Amino acid sequence: MKKRFLFLACVTGICLGFFSSQVMAEIIWQQGAISVEDELSGEGGRIHVGKLTVTPALRLSEVYDSNIYLGNGYTNNPNNPNTTLNGKLTKPIENDYIFHVNPGVLFSYQLPERGHVNLLYEGNWAFYNEYTVQNWNNQRGVFDFDYTAPTGLIAGLTNVYNNGNDPYGDATQFGLGYNQKRWNNDLNAKVGWDFFNRFKVVGFYNFYKQEYDFDSNATQNWTDNVFGLEFAMRVLPKTWAFVRYHYGTQSYDDDQISSVNDASNKRNRVSGGLAWDGGGKLGGELNFGWQWLNYDNDRDTNGRAYENRNTWSADTSINYRATQNTVLTLNLARAIRSTGAARQEYYDDTNVGLNVSQDLPYKFSAKGGFIYGRNDYNTLNYQKTEDRVDDNYNFYAGVSYKIRSWLSAGLNYRYMKKDSNDVTQSFTDNQVALSLGASY
């Protein structure tokens, strides 16, 4: 149980990155997707070398996907599905069966009463039955270090590296449905001091870099550098009140776009809220604030004026243990996202979700959740009639059965829908997955 908490704490820490981190945006789209996480956070860890625990794991899954390209088949002539839109072939609606192989290993080294060091690897290979050209794989590595000294020193470092070509797009949902080779690295560091377990002052640094393999996608190559400072005060035995300030820069790395016209920008954010220590009924944090986006340049490559933007923000994730066997999680995230180097386009990205995890009798357990997201763009839709607005719906549910302490079976369902006033962007996707997982 302790190892499970530490692993989930690592994942939660990643999700609560600065400016609604890019990882959070990917989770919005991939919630409930095939993963070996359950095995790595389960009852494995039988290999011990001193204080080091090693947990190898493997999950095999067969998935039916009703819309592998996340398309809607829209054309200028709906009666002729082979026509094109603006000279480009639109994404068809095709279904297929997909076989997933998910290996993983977790190295966990405990620092009693002070913290931990975790190193995680997770792979995902997807093999399509009919449309083999759509085959993809992802490799993910996580390093997580957390330390609190008796004297009050606080230190932490989390680095997440992803390399792959899945069809779920990047943080801005670029390239949904297409396999595009890319990698990203998300580093979060903190250092501070806890004064008498009453006050805390913590400094933060976040470095995020994303890179695509092909020049045709280079407008999506960018680097973020974010600095932050927090002041926190304990207001209840397990509750902290905090105020934070973050300053960040986003620079685009496309050699074909001049630095005098690209969408490079600066961001400021002030936020505050409550955070809870682990171990009680409440965990996570309540976080709201205000953010400002200011572009470095006046106009984009087409001469359109950049528009600075400010609005409210949120990075809230609250866990509530309703009973010994029931855990509820509420997530609320809001950020401003620029869509690429060459355009003055951005959108307000707002997401709210509720997740439930339930232990059941006879070695069964269940989980489910619903996430609603709204993307409000500052640019016109395809029909040029009004600003584009996307409503995103993501529902997932699953049940698992513990066959042995090291072996489990699962049945999962996921529903994804993008309902946009831009007819070229809407789609619906259903996935059903049957899986078998093991850990040691």
Q: What is the DSSP string of 239-253?
A: EEEEEEEEEEEEEE-
**CB-count exposure of residue 437 (10 Å: 0-12, 13-18, 19+):** buried
H or E element: which one contains 182? strand 182-195
Strands in 129-221 per DSSP E: 136-148, 153-164, 182-195, 199-212
**322 pLDDT more than 80:** yes
Contacts of 2 (CB under 8 A, 6+ apart): none
The pLDDT value recorded for residue 3 is 41
Q: Which residues pair with 385 in a beta bridge?
A: none
Ranges of H-type helices in 16-126: 22-30, 37-40
Give the distance between the most distant pair of CA atoms in the chain: 73
What end-to-end distance do the CA atoms of the chain give, in Å? 15
Report whether 108 contacts 6 (CB < 8 A).
yes
- Average pLDDT value for residue range 355-362: 95
Q: Which amino acid is at 315?
A: D
**331 pLDDT more than 50:** yes
- pLDDT band (50, 70, 90) for residue 185: very high
The pLDDT value recorded for residue 220 is 93
CB neighbours of residue 17 within 10 Å: 22
Here the tokens at position 297 are 């340049």
Mean pLDDT (the chain) is 88
Distance CA 195, CA 233 (A): 10
- Average pLDDT value for residue range 272-290: 93
- Average pLDDT value for residue range 418-439: 93
The pLDDT value recorded for residue 79 is 54
The pLDDT value recorded for residue 174 is 87
Global pTM value: 0.88
List the single range of 65-79, 132-146, 168-182 with lowest mean pLDDT. 65-79
Exposure string (b/e) for 158-178, b if CB count within 10 Å is 16 or more?
bbbbbebbbbbbbbbbbbbbb
Looking up tokens 């054309």 gives 75
CB neighbours of residue 435 within 10 Å: 22
The pLDDT value recorded for residue 76 is 56
28 vs 90 pLDDT, higher one? 90
pLDDT tens readout for residues 192-233 = 999 999 999 999 999 999 999 988 889 999 999 999 999 999
The pLDDT value recorded for residue 115 is 93
pLDDT tens readout for residues 379-425 = 999 889 999 999 999 999 999 999 998 999 999 999 999 999 998 89
The pLDDT value recorded for residue 431 is 96
pLDDT tens readout for residues 25-45 = 444 444 445 677 777 776 778
The pLDDT value recorded for residue 24 is 41
Distance CA 176, CA 96 (A): 17
382 vs 87 pLDDT, higher one? 382
**95 pLDDT more than 60:** yes
CB neighbours of residue 82 within 10 Å: 9
Percent of the chain with pLDDT over 70: 88
pLDDT tens readout for residues 99-133 = 999 999 999 999 988 999 999 999 999 999 999 99
If you count them, how many residues does the chain have?
A: 440
**54 pLDDT more than 70:** yes
List the single range of 170-179, 269-278, 396-405 with lowest mean pLDDT. 170-179
Distance CA 200, CA 212 (A): 39
- pLDDT band (50, 70, 90) for residue 350: very high
H or E element: which one contains 295? strand 282-295
pLDDT tens readout for residues 403-415 = 998 999 999 999 9
Give whole-number Cα distances, 57 to 33, 42, 60, 257, 410, in Å: 17, 10, 10, 44, 15
Distance CA 3, CA 153 (A): 23
**98 pLDDT more than 70:** yes
For residue 72, the SS3 value is: coil
- pLDDT band (50, 70, 90) for residue 17: very low
Distance CA 180, CA 422 (A): 23
Q: Which amino acid is at 105?
A: V
- Average pLDDT value for residue range 287-296: 97
Distance CA 427, CA 418 (A): 5
The pLDDT value recorded for residue 75 is 64
The pLDDT value recorded for residue 175 is 85
For residue 373, the SS3 value is: strand
Percent of the chain with pLDDT over 90: 73
pLDDT tens readout for residues 222-265 = 999 999 999 999 999 999 999 999 999 999 998 889 989 999 99
